[in-house]
């Protein structure tokens, strides 16, 4: 059984096959065992709705993670159910263009960013941000996905 699924009902996004391979690499590198999560690709309209409903922020964003391990009722299971990562394909395309890198790089970045949030990493202060962002960069660079 796969440790994660990528759900995309919008249209074909050829980069998702390589994003899946990148995440499989990250799972091995981070030694994630018996843990499962989902990535859901949405458009700006849907992520705006999610952001407004669950975070009370009235705008679209690029990625939102819902960590189920924050809910203690999911802790005593035989496997870890990490949660869901929502990625806006519209924002990913826009940011790839703005940063002058590929859509593959942006989707990979947003995916590992979301996964690290599910694993408990955060960037609420400078020290935590440095740890999380360095790990993201290390994983992307080691796999060969560079800006």
Considering the entire predicted model, what is its pTM? 0.92
State yes or no: pLDDT of 1 exceeds 50: no
- In the predicted model, what is the mean pLDDT of residues 72-83? 72
pLDDT tens-digit readout, 29-76? 999 988 899 999 999 999 999 999 999 999 999 999 998 876 666 566
- In the predicted model, what is the mean pLDDT of residues 10-18? 96
How far is Cα 24 from Cα 60, in angstroms, rounded to an integer? 28
Percent of the chain past pLDDT 70, that is, above it, reads 93
Which pLDDT score, from 0 to 100, does residue 64 have?
A: 97
Question: HEC string of 38-97?
Answer: EEEEECHHHHHHHHHHHHCCCCCCCEEEEEHHHCHHHCCCCCEEEEEEEEEHHHHHHHHH
Domains and CATH numbers, the chain: 4-143 (3.40.390.30)
Look at the block and give the residue holding tokens 């955060």: 122
Closest CA to 120 of 78, 69, 58, 56: 69
């Amino acid at each position: 059984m796969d440790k994660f699924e990528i759900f995309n009902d919008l249209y074909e996004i050829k980069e998702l096959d390589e994003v899946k391979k990148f995440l499989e690499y990250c799972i091995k590198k981070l030694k994630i065992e018996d843990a499962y999560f989902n990535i859901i690709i949405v458009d700006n309209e849907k992520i705006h709705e999610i952001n407004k409903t669950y975070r009370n922020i009235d705008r679209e964003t690029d990625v939102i993670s819902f960590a189920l391990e924050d809910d203690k009722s999911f802790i005593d299971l035989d496997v870890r159910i990490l949660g869901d990562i929502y990625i806006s394909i519209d924002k990913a395309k826009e940011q790839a263009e703005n940063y002058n890198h590929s859509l593959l790089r942006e989707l990979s970045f947003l995916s590992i960013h979301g996964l690290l949030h599910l694993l408990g990493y955060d960037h609420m202060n400078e020290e935590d941000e440095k740890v999380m962002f360095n790990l993201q960069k290390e994983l992307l660079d080691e796999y060969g996905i560079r800006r």
